[in-house]
Amino acid sequence: MRSEHRFIDPYTPTEALLSKGFILSEVIRLTYEKRKIFIGTTVLCALLFFGTAAGAAPPVTTVNPSVSDNNVPVYPATPAQASDPKSNASPSLTTQSSPASTQNPAALIPFAGDTRATTDTKPNVTTPPGSTTPASPVNPLTSGSASGSTSGTTQNQTPGNSPTVPLPTQTLPNGQNPTEKPTPPPLEVVHPPKGGTVILHISDNTFTFTAGEALSQLEPGKWSYRPAISPKEAAEEANNFISWVPEGSFRLREGAVDRIAKAFLDAKDSELTIPSWRVIADTLIPLTHVSVSGGQNSSTALGKIDGLVLPPKAIFSFNRDVGPRTEETGFISGNVLQGNQYVREVGGGICFASTIVHQAVAQTGFDILEHHHHSIRAPYVEPGGDATVYYGVFDYRFRNGDYDLLFEKRETPEALGLRLWQAVE
């Protein structure tokens, strides 16, 4: 005969059912052993057993269909368990009831042996009065915020995890939400450089400059320039322009580069005449009918007047400006025509140079003051187009016009020539 009896403290409906069956079997066994039939006690225990078991049947609860692991039924606690001070069951988790529900919220107790959290369940669904369609269940964890809203705090809830602490909304320094696509910065509008139109009259040429990103030729006579920010940059841009102009188009006078640089620096609408030279005469005669010594002495004579600037109304004199023909001045012995025959003298053949000067001056219309011809026809020009000189005896002279006149020597392996430039104010 057993002296002590072990009773199971029920904390779930299933275990409560098992506990009552055990009590009934113990009562029957003790009654049988002592041969004492207590019909009243047996009937009372039977009624207690079946009545309590029938009352322990739990109502059907609605589980969250969104959670794939909610396949285990969850039963609410009985009032007896909630008020039993001796119960050592685990504390139950409660859920908030939906405003549309008419049932009282019940504490959810995990099934014996199940360690998964059951807090992600929806409350019971009830049918509003006068309607045959159940109201939509409301998730108490997400019912506080509208669908798709990003304001407030978010509560992360996943199966198998306890509710986490709400995380504060993160914001970027410029106030943008990190979950939102950042707004791209506005496109920078590139404005053309500010600057006026500069018109430069250089010699017989006209150049129009418009403000741009760099100095470049747009088309013949039209250029772009970059408005300078310092006198040094303006001077560099002016020199670059001069170096790009084809040689022979014009020649600049003193102070011309400074004027162009100032126009680029001011970058205003302006029209300027740049000090320059324009060509008024140009001649080039082959050396075919000239001796070697005569060609060399003529080249030396033209070199003496290369770069000479004759002031307005001034008189040009070949003998004066070239000087005496001696070995010390760079001349060599050559043929000199005396009467009808040639003799050798230092500076012989220099008449080819004086003829070149006459051919150039004849293109200008200047007044010729002194002009002599050879005693015989010169083979390198047409008849009457020659000009003979002899130091101290024959000279070639003319008067300049109203502007400065510049002499430029021209020379190639097969010819010699002269170019006359007139100043443009």
86-100 pLDDT, tens digit per residue, is: 444 444 444 444 444
Q: What pTM was computed for the model?
A: 0.53
Which two structure tokens, joined as six digits, stand for 397?
A: 């002279």
More confident residue, 232 or 182: 232
293 and 333 Cβ atoms separated by less than 8 Å: yes
Positive/negative CA dihedral, 241, 247, 249, 253: positive
200-225 pLDDT, tens digit per residue, is: 998 888 999 999 988 999 999 999 99
Domain boundaries, the chain: 13-55, 198-274, 278-424
405 and 420 Cβ atoms separated by less than 8 Å: yes
261 and 235 Cβ atoms separated by less than 8 Å: yes
More confident residue, 127 or 202: 202
C-alpha to C-alpha distances, 103 to 9, 29, 124, 126, 423, nearest whole angstrom: 29, 43, 7, 8, 112
The string of DSSP letters for 254-304 reads TTHHHHHHHHHHH-SSEEEEE-EEEEEEEEEEESTTS-HHHHHHHHHHHHH
246-281 pLDDT, tens digit per residue, is: 776 788 888 999 999 999 999 999 999 999 999 999
Q: Which of 22-31, 64-73, 113-122, 138-147 has the highest mean pLDDT?
A: 22-31
**Looking at residue 244, what is its pLDDT?**
86
**Looking at residue 165, what is its pLDDT?**
57
**Looking at residue 337, what is its pLDDT?**
83
- Greatest Cα-to-Cα distance within the chain, rounded to the nearest angstrom: 187
pLDDT above 80: residue 195: yes
pLDDT above 60: residue 129: no
